A and B are shown apart, each in its own frame.
Chain A
Amino acid sequence: MHTLMSLTTPAVVTAVEDVVAPVAWDGARHAAWLVVVPLVSAAVLLLLGRRADRWGHWLGVLASAASFVVALVLFLGLLGQPAEQRVHDVSFGTWVDAGALTLDAGLRVDPLSLTFVLLVTFVGTLIHVYSVAYMEHDVDRRRFFAYLNLFVAAMLLLVLADSYLLLFVGWEGVGLASYLLIGFWNHNTAYAVAAKKAFVANRVGDVGLIVAMGLMFAAFGGLDFATVHAGVAGADTGVLTLIGLALLLAACGKSAQFPLQSWLGDAMAGPTPVSALIHAATMVTAGVYLIVRSGEVYAAAPTAQLVVAVVGAITLLFGAIVGCAKDDIKKALAASTMSQIGYMVLAAGLGPIGYAFAIFHLVTHGFFKAGMFLGAGSVMHGMDDQVDMRRFGGLGRYMKITYVTFMAGWLAILGVFPFAGFWSKDKIIEAAFVPVDGEPWRAWVFGGIALLGAGITAFYMSRLFFLTFEGQKRWSAKRDGSAQHPHESPLLMTVPMVVLAVGSVGLGWFLSSAGFVEWLEPSVGHAEHHEPVLPVPVIVGATLAVVLVGLVLAWRMYAVSTVPVAPPRGTVLTRAARQDLYQDVVNDAALVDPGRYLTRSLVYGDKAVVDGAVTGLGKVTVGVGDAVRRVQTGYARSYAASTVVGLVVLTVVVLAVRG
């Protein structure tokens, strides 16, 4: 065992060196269209105003679809090239030329970014289509599509950027779009507050990215990926650790990882397509992208990498526990998202061995989680915007398509063979059991947590599924008092769900057999296959076993037995989980209240000390001026007298001093 561990360390290092250096490719210039098209569409929709109300949503769909087509063309072009030439940097001229910092506005087209681009444009286009129907009765549908297009443009810029600074532009862009979309119905105060909360939490993360960029500039003299990655080799480990931690902070803010995860649950205030696109499939995974993209930094900073894995593990369990107690279908899904991203971050924290699986899981999760969110939206659509799962039940018979597509997503997230999650999540659990830095305790701890998480995931996702689609009807009256008549959603909504469900079923197998991991290798590096501490079949079996346990437990509690409409008091853990494990309380106590007190004391100090000093100075000046004013009689003779007296005194003094 020990010899094996000592062998793994150089293997990791060589893996990093496997990352392909960028080469020029003219076709990559077309990547600019990916960003420009949705951006122009968003601008047109926002600037034209109500004149675009009738056709604006179709323009939005078209822009997103056009981006997807461009992405597809680029993808095919990239496939036509040998693997070692699939990383392309394309520059669009000098962007920043400030003293020592010279930066081109450039895009990086490589397997990693193109994977994201395909995911974002494909799922995005589906969700655009879905939104056409879902937002049909909203007067501000055009504005909604403008924001969605803005988000797509910003997200594509984020993943395509070839420098941390340009990435930051996209990073802020998606933050803005997220803020605008969470608060889309901002006439509801709670929703507006939720939007602000998301914004503030994201700002905390952004500070991390800014600090990271400052450190990079100081350490490497540049902010583009090529310079940074090239500079890692000779850099100080302490600085690299700091950069890694700062990047992790940024990722935590964007991806709702511990301890900045509290905003994601509230972010469900936005329209459901937003939750599906932004807060499940794409934006929240930007943190994972950032960590994977910065793989070289983490490879040289093992401490930071370990912290990444720890954060991922904590969030994984945290989200899973919270998900067990939530009765709001969207918040339960949000907790699940948090937990699944925790898996990805954990995988990213495992080093090159986990990067590919993190991205793999990210893609499959993007499909099945978006599908489930769309399913939840469909349920809400049919149930008069009811979100309380205790008021659902037995919906499977009334919404057949939703039921089936949601079931596909459910089985996928459970990791049941041969659904998508099996191919990605189980790989992460396997990877977690691989001893990374020659320390077996890590393999056991992370592997154990990942396994436990899989069981809890199975429980709460099954709970969600059974509460919604199985069991008795526990429907409440509509808001207008009439009885509920759940109905299937229109075709525009079900078609995207079906497409995503197909992805949930077959994407994992497809990508796995098509060599997704090898496809990513030019970007994330090649990882030697190492044996986990347990044999692989044992891990797979154990995973399936805990999943089955969770599933059966949920079946017995929520499908077979009667579920109370009013939530029972529950255990201490349940009550805590309903409160997001008191995250908000902790935040308030640890940050908000001290901040408030600090502000108050600063205001008081400002008034007493600063203002006091200023006004005191003013008063002293006025007093002195009042006294001196009397000397200023305006009579020339007085002034002459003072001159002469001064002359006499000065002469006497000089004489006295000279002796």
Chain B
Amino acid sequence: MTLTHYLVLAAILFAIGATTVLLRRNAIIVFMGVELMLNSTNLLLVTFARMHGDLTGQVLAFFVMVVAAAEVVVGLGIIVSIFRTRRSASVDDVNLLKS
């Protein structure tokens, strides 16, 4: 087994996360799909760090995690406030983009 396997695994996870975003309507699940995509890139970064013998990749993954945490806080806050006004967590109900 080589490090490439990790990369392929990350790619598969990323694709599944993207598909989740496209197919699921529950905003929370969509959000989890996004998190899955972020995690798969983190795996990629860690693998590349190992491949190049350079810890910068890990540092980058660390920053991704922190930013993802911030993003989750804001995103969930938005979902909660939308749910409060609309009694729904479906992304399709929020189509104000179409004016």
Contact = CB atoms under 8 A, between A and B. Distances in A.
- Find out whether A and B make contact in their complex, taking CB atoms under 8 A apart as touching: yes
A644 B18 contact: yes
Contacts of A640: 21-22
**Most B Cβ at <10 Å: residue of A633, A637, A639:** A637
A644 B20 CA distance: 12
A629 to B, nearest CB: 9
Contacts of B25: 637
B79 to A, nearest CB: 13
A120 to B, nearest CB: 72
The 9 closest A-B pairs by CB, nearest first: A634-B98, A634-B95, A634-B97, A641-B22, A635-B95, A636-B91, A640-B21, A644-B18, A635-B92
B18 A637 contact: no
Contacts of B97: 632, 634-636, 639
A637 B33 CA distance: 12
29 contacts: A632-B97, A632-B98, A633-B95, A633-B98, A634-B95, A634-B96, A634-B97, A634-B98, A634-B99, A635-B91, A635-B92, A635-B97, A635-B98, A636-B91, A636-B95, A636-B97, A637-B21, A637-B22, A637-B23, A637-B25, A637-B30, A637-B91, A637-B92, A639-B97, A640-B21, A640-B22, A641-B22, A644-B18, A644-B22
B87 to A, nearest CB: 19
Contacts of B94: 636
A636 B98 CA distance: 10
A636 B95 CA distance: 7
Contacts of A639: 97
A639 B97 CA distance: 10
Nearest to B98: A634
A632 B92 CA distance: 13
Interface of B: 18, 21-23, 25, 30, 91-92, 94-99
A553 B44 CA distance: 119
Given A637-B91, A640-B21, 4 more contacts: A634-B97, A636-B94, A637-B22, A640-B22
Interface in A621-640: 632-637, 639-640
A637 B92 CA distance: 8
A637 B95 CA distance: 10
Contacts of B22: 637, 640-641, 644
Contacts of A633: 95, 98
Contacts of B30: 637
A633 B92 CA distance: 10
Contacts of B23: 637
Nearest to B24: A637
Interface in A332-355: none
B28 to A, nearest CB: 14
B8 to A, nearest CB: 16
Contacts of B98: 632-635
A404 B70 CA distance: 111
Nearest to B30: A637
B24 to A, nearest CB: 9
A633 to B, nearest CB: 6
Contacts of A632: 97-98
A636 B94 CA distance: 8
A507 to B, nearest CB: 86
B27 to A, nearest CB: 9
Interface string A630-659: 001111110111001000000000000000
A632 B91 CA distance: 15
A634 B92 CA distance: 8
A503 B22 CA distance: 105
B91 to A, nearest CB: 5
B31 to A, nearest CB: 12
Interface in A48-92: none
Nearest to A632: B98
Nearest to B96: A634
Nearest to A644: B18
A636 B25 CA distance: 10
Nearest to B15: A644
A632 B96 CA distance: 11
A633 B94 CA distance: 11
Contacts of A634: 95-99
A658 B67 CA distance: 34
Contacts of B92: 635, 637
Nearest to A641: B22
A642 to B, nearest CB: 10
Nearest to B18: A644
Nearest to B22: A641
Nearest to A636: B91
Contacts of A636: 91, 94-95, 97
Contacts of B96: 634
A635 B30 CA distance: 13
Contacts of B95: 633-636
Nearest to B33: A640
